[in-house]
Amino acid sequence: MQRIIKANIGRFMKLLETETDATKRAMEIRLLAEEEDKLKQLDDHGKKTKAF
């Protein structure tokens, strides 16, 4: 799962390098933020699990 999320983050970052349409950029920024949140939640969950 983590590999897919990281691939999505990379893809959205790459798209943002060249996208000029404001609407598309806004959607890509939102999707990037969602994927980054997912990754953070996975990381936080992993840290909590390892502590036990």
Please tell me the total number of residues recorded for the chain in this structure. 52
**pLDDT, tens only, 15-28:** 999 999 999 999 99
CB contact at 8 A, 36 and 9: yes
Give the domain ranges of the chain.
2-51
pTM higher than the cut 0.85 = no
Cα dist. 23→8, 12, 19, 33 in Å? Answer: 19, 14, 10, 16
Residues 6+ apart with CB under 8 A from 18: none
Where do the DSSP E strands lie in the chain?
A: none
**pLDDT, tens only, 5-52:** 999 999 999 999 999 999 999 999 999 999 999 999 998 876 654 544
